Structure 1
Amino acid sequence: MDVHNAFLHGDLDEEVYMKFFPGFRTGDPNKVCRLRKSLYGLKQAPRCWFAKLVEAMKIFGFVQDYSDYSLFVLATNTARLHVLVYVDDLIITGSSIHVVNKLKHYLSSCFHMKNLGVLRYFLDLEVARSPSGIYLCQRKYALDIIAETGLLGVRPTTFPLEQYHKLAYAKGSLFPEPTRYRRLIGRLIYLGNTRPELSYAIHILSHFMASPQQAHWDAALRVVCYLKNSPGQGILLRANKPLTLTAWCDSDHAKCPSSRRSLTSYFIQLGGSPLSWKTRKQDVVSRSSTEAEYRAMADTVSEILWLRQLLPFLGIQVTAPITVYSSLSAIMLAANPVFHARTKHVGTDCHFIRDEIIRGTIATQHVSTTTQLADILTKALGQKHFEDFLDKLSVCNLHTPP
């Protein structure tokens, strides 16, 4: 559902005055208007609108999730409703169509709403359903990127970045249109919502936003050529799998040649389907590969703890320990609380992993590099290894014939 003129519904708590709009004549030119309702252009308008919506949702009986403030849940003995809010757009899902229609009628009585029907397209995300599950992709968005860069007629590539690229060492002419480069990388970042295999490429190309060189632009165009190979590629949220969480974490020690910081990546699955993934540079320099792996595990456990709070609100109970696949060195350091001279410099903020292992929140397990799913998020792989990992990540293309 979509709310018409959402920011006009908010009630102002502050005292705000404005000049009369052009063309309105008054007897006293010194008079001004005091606003009782929010208007577009006010900094308070988004907050006022959301407060008004929260109040209406709570009157209906919804509870706001404090792990994600835009998520509302109504659970009764006979039905369960979830509402996800993005500014003035609402996604409604539930177990009873009668209760869903009742909610729609209630919201329409509170605000001027537009019913957009069954969810198929939302914020450039395309949704398709089948008995196998829910498929998410951004095919139209990817085709728009290809058309904007003028690469509709080029030959596609089968993997996004060259395996042994030297983009950090590039010494050539500056790209004459840096704004164009930044726009392209910004669009690729949003495309990463359904394309986990692009995580590493986007991370690397984002480093050169300030002063991109011609080599960086050429690498970005190679990523677009990869999109042309499979613009409809996305993720499948499988319906026939048990809803268990598994996590994979990896790091690449001293990956950044300028700062010598390591790269952290994690890939979390729910029932074998991609749920959360990330590639980022660590905040501090790791003095060993063990420390880099340990910090990667700490970031992964932080994400797991957030998901453990969020999933019960969606009706998914997480009681069993969540398996975290990592390197042997990080597992040994997390399991053994003995003081080590070689790791005494590791920040205390990372050692909370040990507490979560003792509580039974997570269970660590060693995995080799060839089967580590997060490996594709830490480095550029060749064609064979890249395609092998795509199958393991549950990344597929609904538009490609079987």
Structure 2
Amino acid sequence: MFFKQSKDGAKTILIVYVDDIILTGDNTAKMEKLKKCLATEFEVKDLGQMRYFLGMEIAQSKKGISVSQRKYILDLLTEIGMLGCKPSDTPIEAGKITKDLGNSMEIDRYQRLVGKLIYLSHTRPDITFAVSMVSQHMHSPKEADLEAVYKILRCLKGNPGKGLFFEKNNRRGVEIFKDADWAGSTEDRSTTSYCTFVWGNLVTWSKKQKVVARSSTEAEFRTVAQGIYEGLWIKKLLEELNVKVELPIKLYCDNKAAINISLNPVQHDRAKHVEVDRHFIKEKVEDEIICMTYVPTKEQTADIFTKGLPKQVFDTFSCKLNLINIYGSTWGRV
């Protein structure tokens, strides 16, 4: 990525992936000048407003920008003969995950399907947890693992046009949601995850993280630290782009014990096994870079990245991730 800011404050960003280029900025004249400069040195073709990039479909309107992979999903379903399958409400069953010891199956086919699902999770964060679960069995898949893959595909069949929506609004804050599911999986026990919102729009999220934690508080501390690391990285990136970041960055946690220990030094003896994380968190809070805020579990958006959820809860969190289907609504495009 190349970033340039002129003396008059105009910003231009150039992103290159192999032979594909994205050019954006806030001054049309300077962007045109850069395109002419590139044309003198390289053989380039101006395709106009971005609509398709690396398998991702981009739609723009006055309301915002939508990024989806509808064609990619439909092509995949057609390829494996599932275009007419019955849709599934969720990508994975709710409840605890157990390890299946059924019959083995063809590895190459399984790995190819999971690989395509991993790429799809770039615009479909609602399948991230399910995809991370099936990814754990890439080298020795069982029949039940393939059925889990098919369930994800049936979920995608139900709404292939759904994708991330980046809404135009007046919000300028950075928010982090983090969640830890201590001992929730009988296969690898504790799992943690986080997701970050910039100006109210989802920009980064983590897959299911495997954690060996001796208590729920330790699991929470670790995921809080991970969320803060991500928030600091986003802050640095925005500052490099000369975008002002409103502080403090809000971090939403559904564990009151983790918040109290982070803010109250009197309780540090109860968390010696996570001393480094505690000091790191406390330092960022005292510097007013991070603000830890309690949020009820039913409103913890990151919950969708750590466990399978019932349909109603799954749909609620999917909406909070700004996932919409522009093909099934009155969303106006330009």
Match of 2:279 among 326, 351, 354: 351
Give the Cα separation in 1 of the matches to 2:81 and 2:195: 33
What is the match of residue 171 of structure 1? 101
Give the Cα separation in 1 of the matches to 2:2 and 2:163: 24
Match of 1:337 among 257, 265, 279: 265
**For residues 278-328 of structure 1, what are the alpha-carbon distances to aligned partners after superposition, in whole Å with 9 as ceiling and x for unaligned?**
12324x511100010110000000000000011123342113201100021
Equivalent runs, 1:260-275 vs 2, <5 Å = 260=189, 262-275=190-203
Please say if residues 178 and 212 of structure 1, whose CA atoms lie closer than 8 Å, have aligned partners that are also in contact.
yes
Please say if residues 208 and 305 of structure 2, whose CA atoms lie closer than 8 Å, have aligned partners that are also in contact.
no
Match of 2:175 among 246, 260, 274: 246
Please say if residues 263 and 279 of structure 1, whose CA atoms lie closer than 8 Å, have aligned partners that are also in contact.
no
Q: Aligned-pair distance for 1:148? A: 2.2
Shift in CA distance, 319/359, structure 1 to aligned 2, threshold 3 Å = same
Q: TM-score scaled by structure 1?
A: 0.78
Please say if residues 252 and 295 of structure 2, whose CA atoms lie closer than 8 Å, have aligned partners that are also in contact.
yes
What is the match of residue 228 of structure 2? 301
What is the match of residue 197 of structure 1? 126
Equivalent runs, 1:15-26 vs 2, <5 Å = none
1:224 maps onto 2:153 in alignment: yes
Equivalent runs, 1:36-51 vs 2, <5 Å = none
Q: Unmatched 5+ residue regions in structure 2?
A: none
What is the match of residue 23 of structure 1? none
Q: Aligned-pair distance for 1:75? A: 3.2
Shift in CA distance, 184/71, structure 1 to aligned 2, threshold 3 Å = farther
Please say if residues 295 and 350 of structure 1, whose CA atoms lie closer than 8 Å, have aligned partners that are also in contact.
no
What is the SS of the residue equivalent to 1:344? helix
What is the match of residue 207 of structure 1? 136
What is the match of residue 382 of structure 1? 310
Match of 2:209 among 259, 269, 281: 281
Give the Cα separation in 2 of the matches to 1:75 and 1:84: 18
Letter in 1 for 2:159: S
What is the match of residue 183 of structure 1? 112
Letter in 2 for 1:162: E
**For residues 204-240 of structure 1, what are the alpha-carbon distances to aligned partners after superposition, in whole Å with 9 as ceiling and x for unaligned?**
1111111010001001001000001010101111112
Q: Aligned-pair distance for 1:169? A: 2.2
What is the SS of the residue equivalent to 2:163? strand
Give the Cα separation in 2 of the matches to 1:93 and 1:340: 48
Match of 1:119 among 50, 55, 76: 50
Which has the greater radius of gyration?
1
1:369 maps onto 2:333 in alignment: no
Letter in 2 for 1:130: S
Identity within the alignment, %: 39
Q: TM-score scaled by structure 2?
A: 0.93
What is the match of residue 55 of structure 1? none
Shift in CA distance, 213/227, structure 1 to aligned 2, threshold 3 Å = same
What is the match of residue 391 of structure 1? 319
Shift in CA distance, 333/339, structure 1 to aligned 2, threshold 3 Å = closer
Give the Cα separation in 2 of the matches to 1:117 and 1:401: 26
Q: Aligned-pair distance for 1:337? A: 3.0
Q: Aligned-pair distance for 1:269? A: 1.1
What is the SS of the residue equivalent to 1:83? strand
Give the Cα separation in 1 of the matches to 2:267 and 2:94: 39
What is the match of residue 316 of structure 1? 243
Shift in CA distance, 258/381, structure 1 to aligned 2, threshold 3 Å = closer
Letter in 2 for 1:323: K
Q: Which moved more, 1:219-228 or 1:235-244?
A: 235-244
Letter in 1 for 2:36: H
Give the Cα separation in 2 of the matches to 1:125 and 1:82: 19
Shift in CA distance, 307/290, structure 1 to aligned 2, threshold 3 Å = same
Please say if residues 146 and 227 of structure 1, whose CA atoms lie closer than 8 Å, have aligned partners that are also in contact.
no
Q: Aligned-pair distance for 1:164? A: 2.8
What is the SS of the residue equivalent to 2:84? coil
What is the match of residue 144 of structure 1? 75
Match of 1:236 among 165, 173, 184: 165
CA-atom RMSD in angstroms: 1.7
Shift in CA distance, 304/382, structure 1 to aligned 2, threshold 3 Å = same
